[in-house]
Amino acid sequence: MLPLDDIKILDLSTRAPGPFCSMALSDLGADVLLVEAPAGTGSLGPGLEGDAAVRSAALNPLRRNKRSIVLNLKDEEARALFYRLAEDTDVVMEGFRPGVSQRLGVDYDTLKGINQRIVYCSISGYGQDGPYSQLPGHDVNYLSFAGVLGVIGSRDGQPAIPYNLIADFASGGLLSAMSILSALWVRQRTGQGQYIDISLADGSMYLLADVVGSYYATGVVPRPGAMRLNGGSPDYQAYRCKDGKYLSIGSLEEKFWVNTCAALGREDMIERRNSEPDAVLAELREIFGARGRDEWFELLADKDTCVSKVNTVDELESDPQVQARGMMIDVPGPDGRPMPQVGIAANLRGTPGRVRSAGPAPGAQTREVLQHLGVAAEEIERLHASGAVG
């Protein structure tokens, strides 16, 4: 048994937040059907064909465990098929700009009239209302708006732009998954679905709750590189080592800091971290620059200090902790050869998730899904020829 193996999801989203959300839910067993636009008619662009499309889709972990049907929702017959799918689904997800789902006729109010139990999740940059609702953007824009970029960076004020992990995957993907599961739990008690309005900007600001709270408590505006947790303290830093690799130290608590200084033979720094933080920071940079990263890690890891190697992506697979936790797995590829992918982080010991299949090429299950709806073979051919389905 998988935790969500009785949940059906129609996923209209195409960009990172929605696919990450439905990946997380599908890893836990949800039956996710991607409803994709024909190549060249939607935001996916011209698309790939043949073996190239099959391999590209299979290599994409955000498509794993899912099925795909291609529907041209601008076509009346295709929309009618979508409505039939909506009659027997639990969740609909979309990532259009506000107003697009209404123009396509696949908005919550329309689908609620077909199935009142539907949980409908819209994921957009700034939400469905407000003066910025139609403003386009990407991860860097939402982090900028929410104040996140204002606390990440160097002391000279230059913001450091993180990879699109925060707004897209955390504020968008994970928050959407949590919200969908919450709405499904409410439906268990009420029998009614509901509408979910996820804003990547709202979610990014939500993640900044502690920093905002600290500002209102102290009146101090947090600055890049000046706070204890963003580079302003020697006990919470990434240090460049002799081999050019980096080591992170996070010894905030007194006992961990004492252990770190003792392991380095520099007990004189214990009291100085608060009185002379810049001097201690400079000294530690010199110290860590004298040996390689892995040598320092081996030295400090068994001294009860908060230490970690700053791994690059290509180093993850060989890390013993990654191996022990099963966070890199092999998924059967389209040619039968295993493909490495990130494992499942939601570690339910009683009912663990499972990667059951590699990602499908767009439209790989169109015929199968239409046959399940009872559409005759000759009718499927006609719909293909008309461009309603693909």
Task: State the catalytic residues.
Answer: 168
| Residue 227 dihedral angles phi and psi, to the nearest 5° | -90, 160
Q: If you count them, how many residues does the chain have?
A: 390
Q: CA 68, CA 96: separation in Å to the nearest integer?
A: 18
Q: Beta-carbon neighbour count of residue 168 at 10 Å?
A: 24
- Residue 195 burial (C-beta neighbours within 10 Å; 0-12, 13-18, 19+): middle
Of 44, 16, 31, give the one whose Cα is nearest residue 166. 16
Full 3-state SS string of 132-188: CCCCCCCHHHHHHHHCCHHHCECCCCCECCCCCCHHHHHHHHHHHHHHHHHHHHHHH
Q: CA 48, CA 63: separation in Å to the nearest integer?
A: 15
Give the burial string for 227-240 (b: 16+ CB within 10 Å, else e): beebbbbbbbbebe
